[in-house]
Amino acid sequence: MHVPDPALLRPGRFDRRVTVQAPDKVGREQILRVHTRSVPLAPDVDLSGLAATTVGMVGADLANLVNEAALLAARRTHEQVTMSDFSDSLEKIVLGAARKIMLSDVDRRRTAYHEAGHALTGVLSAGADPVRKISIIPRSRSLGVTLSAPETDQFNYDEQGLLARIRVATGGRAAEEVVYGDQTTGAESDIRQATQLARLMVGRFGMSEEIGFVAVLPQDGEASALQGLTEVSEHTRQRVDAEVKRIVGEAHDQAIGLLTQHRDRLDSLAEALMRAETLDQPEAYAAAGLTAPETATAPAEPALAGAT
């Protein structure tokens, strides 16, 4: 192995940085076509639709997806790799392998309501990403999960969309409160996600009238470079904390209101999850008595919301 001369790495020798962005939908489709050239594909495989559901994946991720799908098809004795093989392989890559644990009926039902709460809140919230798949199969990171993703690549997010994401994150806990009247530890990752997003809205995106059009939180790695961003008063920090609490609290209250108003849909969706364990987008919308978006595609890489 050749090792570059240390002199080449001294400060000032190379000051230009080249940032390589993850491929967009067109790029992902082209990469998938390259990696599937020697793979027998079933007629139902839609590489364009698959590319739309793999937002954020780079070439190595897509190659891994094709390999996993081919292996899964072989284990299932398929002569060709089907769309369901790709869908299940993507789910494994994103969520991790299923855990072989036996949940009690009480825990399964509670998890079903938790995930149904996330999904129904997303479906009923303007600006939220479409729900792609719901599952109550325990995996490496959770007891269940709700996956959602936009129809196209997004590089800019409006305030309504960010608030909808926070509302969806609170939907699992909200469903537990509506149905059971108490709380569990299952919303830990949801709380972390909602809090982080609200803090970014307040401290970096200027989306709070209380704080205003100022940055009070530095980006990762720039605290030492931008001294002004580190000199925030204790009073300002307290105001940021108060705003974060207000935003998340209001989103939580809205989720409770939505699920209370649509309790029949929540019950129906949870019961469907108890029977099937995993629902794709058309099945999930049908169980909730709603119509899936016409442009919907296969299960997507998340925004994830789920019970831990």
**Residue pointed to by tokens 């940085």:** 17
Is residue 90 a contact partner of residue 164, using CB atoms and an 8 Å limit? no
How far is C-alpha 214 from the geometric centre of its chain's CA atoms? Answer: 28
Is 301 an active-site residue? no
Which residue, among 294, 275, 42, 13, has the nearest Cα to 136 in the 3D structure?
A: 275
Which residue, among 159, 188, 180, has the nearest Cα to 251 in the 3D structure?
A: 159
* Strands ordered across the beta sheet of 278-280: 278-280, 131-135, 145-148, 303-305
Distance separating alpha carbons of residues 36 and 110, to the nearest angstrom:
40
**Residue pointed to by tokens 């931008």:** 226
Residue in 29, 91, 115, 243 annotated catalytic: 115
Is residue 232 a contact partner of residue 187, using CB atoms and an 8 Å limit? no
Is residue 97 a contact partner of residue 138, using CB atoms and an 8 Å limit? no
Active site residues: 115
